[in-house]
């Protein structure tokens, strides 16, 4: 009997050694010097030239600076969408969802998010010449009379359902561009968009000023921008969080934001520095 037990134990040793020697994502990044980025196009956070394919934007500059400081190289391996980025990262198509995502609790069951890099305030936006929204409030917007635009795969639908449960929803596909949000109002397919001032400024730069924000004392939601990794990649998550802190305190993140913001220093909200909160 002892001999049988010994044979069984010895047979398990190769599997135990294999489990113990399995390389983590961060160990591979450190060994190869390459971090694989997944991204989605969402100017000015991430943009791609339609003619040349050249990438640019906040995320592009941030990750390349992070890599330079850490002695790494970035490979922009996968362009994803709101709908498929979680399955893609889970299937090891890339190491990091480098374009910051609008995190929510449902997503947090599937991936691990970094600390917040920066923020934006989400406000209701309507057609400038629509008199129905003169003096509108959160309460009056919560009505089946109004249709909100959302996009499959991002958090806007959940925000609308939570804050405006009686309103209707016009859902865009996950591949829709930012410009398609605004076109739904022009085409009168919907009445209200939840967006931030930066998103509107980018659209108006090429299409004119056809919209207005409904005046609110506070945003409908403060939306944080976070990168994401697989749940098991705790060491990579720690590295990214330390990089966020380092590039924030050094002023590099602010300089990158100002370079791409439509209204430098104002389009996106920055975290408070700890010593500022103590004043």
**198-248 tens-digit pLDDT:** 878 878 877 888 899 998 888 999 999 999 999 999 999 999 999 999 999
pLDDT in tens, 178-187: 788 889 999 9
Distances (CA, A) of 30 to 27, 148, 226, 246: 5, 45, 22, 19
pLDDT in tens, 28-41: 999 999 999 999 99
pLDDT in tens, 55-79: 999 999 999 999 999 999 999 999 9
Q: For a pLDDT cut of 90, what percent of the chain falls above it?
A: 69
Per-residue 3-state assignment (H helix, E strand, C coil) for the chain:
CHHHHHHHHHHHHHHHHHHHHCCCHHHHHHHHCEEEEEECCECCCEEECCCCCCEECHHHHHHHHHHHHHCCEEEEEEECCCCCHHHHHHCCCCCEEEEEEECCHHHHCCEEECCCCEEEEEEEEEECCCHHHCCCCHHHHCCCCCEEEEECCCCHHHHHHHHCCCCEEEEECCCCCHHHHHHHHHCCCCCEEEECHHHHHHHHHHHCCCEEECCCCCCCEEEEEEEEEECCCHHHHHHHHHHHHHHHHCCHHHHHHHHHCCCCCCCCECCCCHHHHCC
Q: Which residues contact 183 (CB under 8 A, 6 or more apart)?
A: none
- Structural domains for the chain: 24-118+223-277 (3.40.190.10), 121-221 (3.40.190.10)
Would you state the structure tokens that stand for residue 79, as one six-digit string?
A: 């362009």
pTM, 2 dp: 0.83
> pLDDT-derived band of residue 3, with 50, 70 and 90 as boundaries?
low
Q: Which residues contact 182 (CB under 8 A, 6 or more apart)?
A: 193, 200, 203, 207, 210, 211
Task: Quote the pLDDT of residue 17.
Answer: 45
pLDDT in tens, 74-89: 999 999 988 899 999 9
Stretch among 17-21, 138-142, 264-268 having the lowest mean pLDDT: 17-21
Q: Is it the case that residue 9 has pLDDT exceeding 50? A: no
Would you state the structure tokens that stand for residue 4, as one six-digit string?
A: 């049988």
The average confidence (pLDDT) of the chain is: 89
Task: Quote the pLDDT of residue 152.
Answer: 80
């Amino acid at each position: 009997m002892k001999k049988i037990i010994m044979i069984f134990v010895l047979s398990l040793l190769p599997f135990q050694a294999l489990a113990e020697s399995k390389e983590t994502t961060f160990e591979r990044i450190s060994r190869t010097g390459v971090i694989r980025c997944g991204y989605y196009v969402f100017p000015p956070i991430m943009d791609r030239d339609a003619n040349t394919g050249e990438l640019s934007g906040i995320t592009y500059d941030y990750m390349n600076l992070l890599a330079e400081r850490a002695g790494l190289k970035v490979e922009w391996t996968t362009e994803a969408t709101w709908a498929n980025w979680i399955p893609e990262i889970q299937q090891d198509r890339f190491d990091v969802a480098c374009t910051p995502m609008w995190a929510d609790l449902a997503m947090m069951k599937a991936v691990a998010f970094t600390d917040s890099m920066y923020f934006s305030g989400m406000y209701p936006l309507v057609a400038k010449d629509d008199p129905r929204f003169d003096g509108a409030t959160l309460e009056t917007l919560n009505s089946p009379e109004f249709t909100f635009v959302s996009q499959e795969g991002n958090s806007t639908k959940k925000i609308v359902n939570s804050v405006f449960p009686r309103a209707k929803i016009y859902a865009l596909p996950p591949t829709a561009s930012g410009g398609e949000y605004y076109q739904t109002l022009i085409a009168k397919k919907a009445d209200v968009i939840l967006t931030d001032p930066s998103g509107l400024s980018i659209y108006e730069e090429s299409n004119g000023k056809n919209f207005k924000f409904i005046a609110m004392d506070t945003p409908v939601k403060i939306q944080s921008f976070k990168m994401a990794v697989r749940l098991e990649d705790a060491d990579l998550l720690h590295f990214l969080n330390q990089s966020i802190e380092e590039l924030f305190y050094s002023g590099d993140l602010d300089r990158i934001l100002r370079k791409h913001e439509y209204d430098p220093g104002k389009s996106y909200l920055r975290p408070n520095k700890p010593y500022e909160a103590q004043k």
